[in-house]
Amino acid sequence: MNLSQNEWASQLETDPNAVILDVRTEDECNEGIIPNAIMIDIYKGQGFIYELEALDKSKNYYVYCKAGGRSSQACDIMGQLGFANTFNLMGGFMQWQGDTVQP
């Protein structure tokens, strides 16, 4: 499901079952991440799938990338793998107004 920046942030704040997933490259993540994000580079191909398979599918995943395209793709892949709840951050990290930290 695509969520606006405000929807994503407010829903994340009140979700006790939330996991934040950053699907950008390592170089992009070094520019800063949303606090507590797990980093799994979608460009790892099959490695990306293996790392997703190790995650708890019962959690709610809040997924982001730089602009929203790769994270939307990641949400689709996760849906195919049996993840029930994935939320894509529209506009991605480029438009993120919340806190950021160094990985």
Active-site residue set: 65
The whole-angstrom separation of Cα 61 and Cα 83 is 8
Task: Judge whether 39 and 64 are in contact, CB under 8 Å.
Answer: no
Burial of 87 (0-12, 13-18, 19+ CB in 10 A): buried
> Cβ contacts of residue 28 below 8 Å, gap of 6+?
65, 66, 93
